[in-house]
Amino acid sequence: MGVGAVRTRGKGFLVGTAVILLAYLVVARVFGGGQLPEAFAQKPSLEAALERARASGKPVLALASAEWCGPCRKLEAGPLRDGDVEKWVSQNTEPAFLDFTTANGELGERYHIYSLPTLLLLRDGKEVGRLEGYAGAEKVLTWLQALSGPLEDWKAAHPGQEAPSGYGEARTKEFSGAPVKLGPGGR
């Protein structure tokens, strides 16, 4: 094998490495590139959001996410950046960011977070709604509109209606347009 063959193979390796690196950067950018939606950009803590919620009367919207989570990046880059969703979140909730990048065992246990991403809606620190996994913007907005706003509780939002079966016991895993099932305490 001559010197020319080694040089050619070296250039091919360099070009191949550059192409792979470029592809990696494009994929990272498409899946969010570490940019959080505006409401979560400062990574507001749960404690701070709960304090703001006590003053505003709004529920807390907690986003449980991790840097290594592909579906989290997709949710953050797409549906949570949708103009209508961002507007709803900023006007009707107090956002919190639960970072599971390295660990967050205590919060994971307290709020039974077993998959990422998870959106939790909390009133007085108690779960009233949950959306697990990736969901499109329309589904996220429908879920938020059904459960959030500065309302005292579900009954105040639905005057004269009977609470759904399992009121106060079941969690919303995915909102499908069916009656909303609420978390602990019926709130």
So what's the pLDDT on residue 22?
A: 62
Give the strand pairing for 118-123 and 126-132.
antiparallel
CA-wise closest residue to 140 among 186, 91, 79, 62: 79
Does 117 sit behind a cis peptide bond, omega within 30 degrees of 0 on the bond before it? yes
So what's the pLDDT on residue 84?
A: 96
* Residue 93 half-sphere exposure toward CB, CA atoms < 13 A: 30
Looking at the domain 38-186, which fold is it? Glutaredoxin (3.40.30)
Mean pLDDT in consecutive groups of 10 residues from the start of the chain, 187 residues: 55 71 54 75 95 94 96 97 95 95 88 95 92 96 79 54 47 38 36
Q: Which residues of 78-116 are buried (b: 16+ CB within 10 A; e: fewer)?
A: bbbbbeebbebbeebbbbbbbebeeebeebbeebebeeb
So what's the pLDDT on residue 35?
A: 83
Burial class of residue 126, CB neighbours in 10 A (0-12, 13-18, 19+): middle
Count the neighbouring beta carbons within 10 Å of the beta carbon of residue 141. 18
Question: What are the domain boundaries of the chain?
Answer: 1-30, 38-186
So what's the pLDDT on residue 89?
A: 95
For the whole model, what pTM was predicted? 0.65
CA-wise closest residue to 43 among 112, 101, 102, 95: 95
